[in-house]
C-alpha cells in the first residue's frame, strides 16, 4: 500500500508524459490519430443526424405567419428551414442536404437568381404559382417535382389567389463542404419568357431528343418538371404487380436523356404502399427525406415510431433501419444524396 501511494505521487509529480507530448505537438498544429481513429473510421455509419418528423398540419400556421412578417422580395426566398435536431445551427436536414418550406403569396415574385447549389421543389399546398427556369415557366401543381439545376436562373411567382407552399431540397451542405458556393442575382425580378410552357417536356421528356443534342452523364436534366399526374399514372400501372417486400412499389426519377439522376448530387424517388402492406426492415447509407403525399402509415426508424399522414415530412439518417406499415394506400416522395454516394462507390444497402 505504501509503495502504491509513492508510485502514484511520483507519476503525478512527473506529469502525464503522453498528454505533455500532445500539448507540445499541438503547438505545431498536429494531433495524434490514435486518439480519434475509432470516430474517423467507424465500424459502421454513425451519423449525428437524428430521425425527425415535421407535421405540416401543425406547421402551416407558422409558415403563413412568415408571410405577414416579411415579403418574398425582402427575404429573396421566404423559407423556414427544417433543421435536423442533431445538426443544430447547421441549416441541414442530413449531413449533406438542406430542406425548407417556402411560401409565396398571391401577387408576389421571388426574384430571379442562380447558384451553384442544385435545388428541387415538391409542391405541397395551394395553386396558382409558377417556377421559371432559364426562361421557361411551369405551373406548380400539388405533388409536382420541379428542379432548378445548378447555375440556372430561376424565379417564382404567384398569379393565383391562394398562398402556395412547397418543400425545397438543396445540396447546400455538400457545396459548403467543398467551399464551392457561388450565387448571382438576375437583372430583373422575373425572367423574360423565351420558351412556351411545356417546351422542355416536349423536347426531352417524351422518349425523344433534339437531333443534335448530346449530354454528359453528370449533367443535370433539361426536363425540369415531373408532373405528379404522370407519376401517379406510373404508380397505378405498376401497383397491379407484386410489391417488393422491402420497398413496395418504388421508382426513381431520371434524366430521360441519360437514365442518370436528374441532378448529380440529389436523387429523387416515388413510392406506393398498398393498404395493409408492411415492408421488411431496410437500411442504406443515403440519409433520406420523405414526404407523405397521400394516405397514412406507421413508420419505424430504428427505435423511433410515428404515425404519418398527408403532407408530413420526416428524415431517415444514414444506415438506420426503416420499416412501413400502410394504413391506407400511401404515396411517398423522397430525396437523398444517393447519386453522390454511388458515384464515389460509397453507397450500400441492407435488406434485413
Using the predicted structure, report yes or no on whether residue 11 has a pLDDT greater than 70: no
Which residue stretches of the chain are H helix? 2-14, 17-26, 37-40, 56-69, 72-75, 172-177, 199-204, 228-238, 338-343
Is the whole model's pTM more than 0.85, yes or no?
A: yes
State residue 220's pLDDT score. Answer: 83
* pLDDT one-digit tens code per residue, 100-157: 999 999 999 999 999 999 999 999 999 999 999 999 999 999 999 999 999 999 999 9
- Measured on CA atoms in the order 306, 310, 314, 319, is the torsion positive or negative? positive
pLDDT above 60 (res 2): no
Q: How far apart (Å, rounded) are the C-alpha atoms in residues 123 and 125?
A: 6
- The predicted pLDDT at position 8 comes to 42
Q: What is the pLDDT of residue 218?
A: 72
Instruction: Tell me what the mean pLDDT of segment 259-283 comes to.
Output: 97
pLDDT at 244 over 60: yes
Residues 6 or more apart in contact with residue 259 via CB below 8 angstroms: none
pLDDT value at residue 15? 80
In the chain, the percentage of residues whose pLDDT exceeds 70 is 96
Match 404515425 to its residue by C-alpha cell: 307
CA geometry: angle 257, 258, 264, nearest 5 deg: 115
Arithmetic mean of pLDDT over the chain: 94
pLDDT in tens, 277-313: 999 999 999 999 999 999 999 999 999 999 999 999 9
Q: Whole-angstrom Cα distance, residue 218 to residue 344? A: 13
Pull the grid cell for residue 128. 396558382
- Which three-class secondary structure state does DSSP give residue 86? helix
Residues 6+ apart with CB under 8 A from 52: 84, 85, 86, 93, 314, 315
At 14 the pLDDT is 60
Delimit the domains of the chain by residue range.
Answer: 52-351
Q: Looking at residue 13, what is its pLDDT?
A: 44
Query: How many C-beta atoms surround the C-beta of residue 3 within 10 A?
Result: 7
Q: Could you give the CA distance from residue 298 to residue 328 in angstroms, rounded to a whole number?
A: 10
User: Span 52-351: which CATH code?
Assistant: 2.60.120.10
Cα 197 from chain centre:
26
What are the cell numbers at 201? Answer: 417536356
* Model confidence pLDDT, tens digit, residues 12-45: 446 899 999 999 999 999 999 999 999 999 999 9
Instruction: Answer with the residue of higher pLDDT: 6 or 78.
Output: 78
Res. 205: pLDDT tops 70: yes
- Segment 316-324 mean pLDDT: 98
* Predicted pLDDT of residue 219: 80
Residue with cell 421566404: 78
Amino acid at each position: 500500500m505504501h509503495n502504491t501511494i509513492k508510485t502514484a505521487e511520483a507519476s503525478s509529480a512527473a506529469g502525464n508524459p503522453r498528454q505533455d507530448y500532445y500539448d507540445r505537438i499541438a503547438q505545431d498544429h498536429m494531433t495524434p490519430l490514435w486518439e480519434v481513429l475509432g470516430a474517423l473510421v467507424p465500424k459502421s455509419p454513425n451519423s449525428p443526424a437524428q430521425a425527425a418528423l415535421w407535421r405540416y398540419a401543425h406547421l402551416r400556421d407558422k409558415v403563413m405567419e412568415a408571410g405577414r412578417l416579411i415579403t418574398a422580395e425582402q427575404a429573396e426566398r421566404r423559407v423556414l428551414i427544417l433543421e435536423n435536431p442533431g445538426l443544430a445551427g447547421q441549416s441541414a436536414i442530413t449531413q449533406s442536404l438542406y430542406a425548407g418550406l417556402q411560401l409565396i403569396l398571391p401577387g408576389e415574385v421571388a426574384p430571379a437568381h442562380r447558384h451553384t447549389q442544385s435545388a428541387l421543389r415538391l409542391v405541397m399546398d395551394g395553386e396558382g404559382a409558377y417556377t421559371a427556369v432559364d426562361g421557361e415557366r411551369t405551373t406548380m401543381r400539388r405533388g409536382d417535382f420541379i428542379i432548378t439545376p445548378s447555375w440556372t436562373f430561376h424565379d417564382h411567382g404567384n398569379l393565383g389567389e391562394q398562398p402556395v407552399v412547397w418543400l425545397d431540397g438543396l445540396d447546400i451542405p455538400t457545396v459548403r463542404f467543398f467551399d464551392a458556393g457561388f450565387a448571382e442575382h438576375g437583372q430583373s425580378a422575373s425572367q423574360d419568357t423565351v420558351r412556351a410552357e411545356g417546351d422542355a417536356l416536349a423536347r426531352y421528356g417524351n422518349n425523344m431528343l433534339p437531333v443534335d443534342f448530346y449530354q454528359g452523364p453528370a449533367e443535370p436534366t433539361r426536363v425540369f418538371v415531373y408532373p405528379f399526374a404522370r407519376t401517379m399514372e406510373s404508380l397505378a400501372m405498376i401497383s397491379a404487380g407484386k410489391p417488393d417486400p422491402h420497398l413496395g412499389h418504388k421508382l426513381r426519377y431520371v434524366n430521360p436523356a441519360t437514365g442518370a439522376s436528374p441532378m448529380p448530387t440529389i436523387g429523387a424517388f416515388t413510392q406506393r404502399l398498398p393498404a395493409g402492406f408492411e415492408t421488411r426492415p431496410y437500411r442504406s447509407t443515403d440519409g433520406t427525406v420523405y414526404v407523405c403525399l397521400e394516405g397514412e402509415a406507421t413508420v419505424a426508424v430504428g427505435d423511433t415510431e410515428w404515425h404519418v399522414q398527408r403532407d408530413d415530412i420526416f428524415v431517415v439518417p444514414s444506415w438506420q433501419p426503416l420499416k412501413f406499415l400502410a394504413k391506407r394506400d400511401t404515396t411517398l416522395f423522397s430525396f437523398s444524396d444517393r447519386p453522390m454516394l454511388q458515384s464515389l462507390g460509397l453507397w450500400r444497402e441492407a435488406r434485413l
